[in-house]
Amino acid sequence: MKRLLFVDDDADFLESNRLYFSRRDYEVFCCDVPKKAVSLLESTRFDCIILDIDMPDMNGFEICQKLRKSSGTPVIFLSGFSDTENRIASFRSGGDDFLAKPYDILELELRILARIRKNEDVFFLEPLQFGKLTIDPDRRIIAYDGKEGDFSALQFDIVFFLAQNSGKVFSYEQLYDQVWKEPMMKSRHNLQVAVATVRQKLSALCGGEQYIRTVSRKGYCFVWEEKE
């Protein structure tokens, strides 16, 4: 059962979509308070998120930008503002699609299905194996000798990206762009702190073994040497 999140301050809109998509065998979550939606996104995995733009306290663009720091979940913007400026802003904030209100609900369902399928095609990959270390992108699990570690979504993405490109050195800018999906914008310190935390957690899980190394004045590299 696919899980959807609708975020809008219009209660009637939320209820009509909840009824329709529930009957179509989706698990539907609805939120009319943007800040509560952000909290929900930190604890619950969704297959697609449908966001209104104009909401009190926090708009849809801000929610999407926060989400993109840790997740590639498809986002479809729904808005009564159909001008080019809002369409462009929706994609710049990390959105995948835009549909103007009023809309045909069947068209919305087809767009949701298309985005979910595309996301599954892009992100389904076989587990990576480095001796006793397993990195499973499908279940988003990092385990060592069968013991699973506790990694946040962002931390998992850092480990998986570097491991997927084992032996290659990535600069701060390259890693930030690949994991955060946006320019660094003077946030190198945030990246350094995030990687340092990942290295500590990975080392603790793997009995002190260091897989992610700092290459002086160049960046970071995932290193694994098969032991005889």
Supply the pTM of this predicted model.
Answer: 0.54
Please name the residues in contact with 58: beta carbons below 8 A apart, sequence gap of 6 or more.
34, 35, 38
217: left (phi over 0), alpha (psi -120 to 50) or beta: left
Instruction: Answer yes or no: CATH 3.40.1160.10 is held by domain 128-222.
Output: no
| Residue 65 CB-density burial (10 A; 0-12 exposed, 13-18 middle, 19+ buried) | middle
Q: Could you give phi then psi for residue 147, rounded to 5 degrees?
A: -95, 125
Please compute the mean of the pLDDT values over residues 81-86 and round it to a whole number.
78
Please compute the mean of the pLDDT values over residues 62-87 and round it to a whole number.
84
163: nearest Cα among 223, 219, 122: 223
Please compute the mean of the pLDDT values over residues 172-188 and round it to a whole number.
66
Please compute the mean of the pLDDT values over residues 85-93 and round it to a whole number.
85
Please compute the mean of the pLDDT values over residues 170-178 and round it to a whole number.
81
Name the residue ranges covered by the structural domains of the chain: 3-123, 128-222
What is residue 202's three-state secondary structure?
Answer: helix
pLDDT of residue 54: 87
- In CATH terms, are 3-123 and 128-222 the same topology? no
Q: Percentage of residues in the chain with pLDDT exceeding 70?
A: 92
Q: What is the DSSP letter of 139?
A: T
pLDDT of residue 223: 93
| pLDDT tens for each residue of 5-35 | 999 999 999 999 999 999 998 999 999 998 8
pLDDT of residue 184: 52
Please compute the mean of the pLDDT values over residues 36-56 and round it to a whole number.
89
* Long-range pairs of 119-125 with CB within 8 A, sequence gap ≥ 24: 119/47, 119/48, 119/72, 119/73, 119/74, 122/72, 123/72, 125/164
pLDDT of residue 185: 52
Please compute the mean of the pLDDT values over residues 106-122 and round it to a whole number.
81
| pLDDT tens for each residue of 123-150 | 556 789 999 999 988 778 899 999 999 8
pLDDT higher at 61 or 72: 61
Runs of H (alpha helix) within the chain: 11-23, 34-43, 60-67, 84-92, 105-123, 153-164, 172-180, 188-205
Task: Please spell the DSSP secondary structure of 146-187, one letter per residue.
Answer: TEEP---HHHHHHHHHHHHTTT-EE-HHHHHHHHH-S--TT-
Mean pLDDT, rounded, of the chain:
86
- Count of beta carbons in the 10 Å neighbourhood of residue 111: 20
Please compute the mean of the pLDDT values over residues 43-70 and round it to a whole number.
88
pLDDT of residue 120: 66
Task: Tell me which of 3.40.50.300, 3.40.50.2300, 3.40.640.10, 3.20.20.70 is the CATH number of domain 3-123.
Answer: 3.40.50.2300
Please compute the mean of the pLDDT values over residues 44-59 and round it to a whole number.
89
pLDDT higher at 75 or 179: 75
Please compute the mean of the pLDDT values over residues 198-212 and round it to a whole number.
93
Please compute the mean of the pLDDT values over residues 39-57 and round it to a whole number.
88
